[in-house]
Amino acid sequence: MRASFPKLEDLIQATPVLSCSGKANPEITGLGYDSRGVSPGDLFFAIQGEREKGKRFSGDAVSRGAAAVLCDEEISDLEVPIVRVNDARVAMADLAASYFGYPSLSLAVAGVTGTNGKTTTAWIIRHLCDSTGRSCGLIGTIRYILPGVDEPAVRTTPESIDIQRMLSLMRDGGFKAAALEVSSHALCQKRVCGIEFDAAVFTNLSQDHLDYHGSMEKYFEAKEELFSLLGSQTRKKGRAIVNADDRYGHRLLDRIGTLSVITYGQGSNCSFRASNIQYSLNGTTFRLDAKKRSYLVRTPLIGLFNVYNTLAALAATSAMGLELRRAVTAAATIPQVPGRLERVPARRNFQAFVDYAHTPDALANVLESIRQLAPRRIITVFGCGGNRDRSKRPMMASVAERHSDLVIVTTDNPRAEDPLEIIREVEKGFRGSEHESFVDRESAIRRGVEIAGPGDVLLIAGKGHETHQETATGYQPFDDVSITARAMVDKPMLESR
């Protein structure tokens, strides 16, 4: 329980203010951005939503007891102080950091951004920290892990108030570090302003979220914002951890020259360099050259893209103060990342994996990694989400066809779109006719299991760790791993006779 609460005039010193109406100086007992959850004494932030302006809900917030309202547009007829700022989202992040006592200053913090690899890299960072005696929290796509809390995530990067609250719980609960996934949406919406990072990781950039950003250039500029924030930090001198083998990573390096940088990849000039990579169904080994020494890295994760994720995590934890030798040792026990090339637990003479790959580049990376395991055939089941970037749909088909022996197209999360129409748009990317289509995802998965034979690898792509399917009628339970496992158990073992 908090011993005391700040007065409004004291709290708003943490951000530039244009004006503050009225003479009242209430005690602020909480922060809120959703009027439905406002409690008496809260400062309500009237931020721009996806469809509605925040000021529309200010009256509702006041009726629920908000002590003051902060906004970046004209609001009148409220009986509480109104704080005007240039950007309500920046102010919300600034004041959240202040209200919770700047928790990132008490933690070693890594932020991970990029199209692919954010979840796995953050997951590995947490494991390496935990394994070397530095308890680490996690805020990302799959889970939120805090002292005494391990729960499914609501969104990859929460709003700034929620992030600062979580970081304060980590600090107050004795954690020493935090790993955060930082989405491009979050960067555009200023959700990680006010956090001081020890390491900011750029994994890669490929086509995704163009329905939101409009172009690859805008998408890249959104990711670049994390490194602008890193450069503007006043209390920590954070390190930029950049994939030098990615073309956008090269562009980023050209534009952040004043930052302290650690590069990673396979190139001879990389600060953390991987070579002599060996793959198997049981994991991957590679030689790491870093800090004028060489190490043999063993990881249970499969594939080249996971070599990059591991490199990124090792570089990030080094910047966070971990001893590299101990981190390399801990890499041998990285736990399975849910929905990231996750092996389905069923005894059959073929292998099945579930992966979150839902972009052309991610799907290509996973399929290329599977091919390196020398399967007899690769059977790929995938779909594309509704109400998202439509231009990548035929590209996904082209990638699946190029890297697979058999392809089955199905639904992903169709949302408000017609699933059959999505499939038709996907099918435009096929050059040949060697594919099957099922609107029902479970039927598609069962078909993949049915045709899989000895030595084959079946990949179920697109939804990964998700345990629901979003359709026009809402959310329905759907778990690729459990459905695939059940289909494998149900399959007659005729081939083993």
Q: Does residue 77 sit within a domain?
A: yes
Residues 12 and 142 in one domain: no
Q: Does residue 244 sit within a domain?
A: yes
Residue 59's closest CA among 78, 43, 73? 78
The CATH number assigned to the domain holding 412 equals: 3.90.190.20
Max Cα separation, the chain?
85
Other beta carbons within 10 Å of 351: 18
Q: Please, which pLDDT band fits residue 432 given cuts at 50, 70 and 90?
A: confident
Q: Give the tens place of pLDDT for each residue, 9-59.
A: 999 999 999 999 988 999 999 999 999 999 999 999 999 865 556 678 999
Residues 367 and 324 in one domain: no
And the tokens for 352? 């099945």
Q: Give the tens place of pLDDT for each residue, 267-289.
A: 999 999 999 999 998 999 999 99
DSSP element (H, E) containing 279: strand 272-280
User: What pLDDT is stored for residue 492 in this prediction?
Assistant: 80
- Share the mean pLDDT of the chain: 94
* 8 Å CB contact between 23 and 31: no
The CATH number assigned to the domain holding 274 equals: 3.40.1190.10
Residues 156 and 130 in one domain: yes
Residues 21 and 110 in one domain: no
Total domains, the chain: 3
Residues 241 and 185 in one domain: yes
Q: How many CA atoms within 13 Å lie on the side-chain side of 448?
A: 38
Residues 170 and 306 in one domain: yes
And the tokens for 485? 């496992």
Q: Rounded CA gap, 312 and 300, in Å?
A: 16
Q: In this model, does residue 435 exceed pLDDT 90?
A: yes
**Which residues lie closer than 8 Å to 415 by C-beta, 6 or more apart?**
385, 386, 387, 388, 470, 471, 472
* 8 Å CB contact between 457 and 353: yes
Q: What is the pTM of this model?
A: 0.93
If you average pLDDT over residues 353-374, what whole number do you get?
95
- Tell which of 37, 64, 99 closes a domain: 99
Q: Give the tens place of pLDDT for each residue, 221-276.
A: 999 999 999 999 999 999 999 999 999 999 999 999 889 999 999 999 999 999 99
- Tell which of 99, 128, 145 closes a domain: 99
- Tell which of 99, 129, 163 closes a domain: 99
User: What pLDDT is stored for residue 497 in this prediction?
Assistant: 38
Domain that residue 27 falls in: 8-99
Residues 51 and 113 in one domain: no
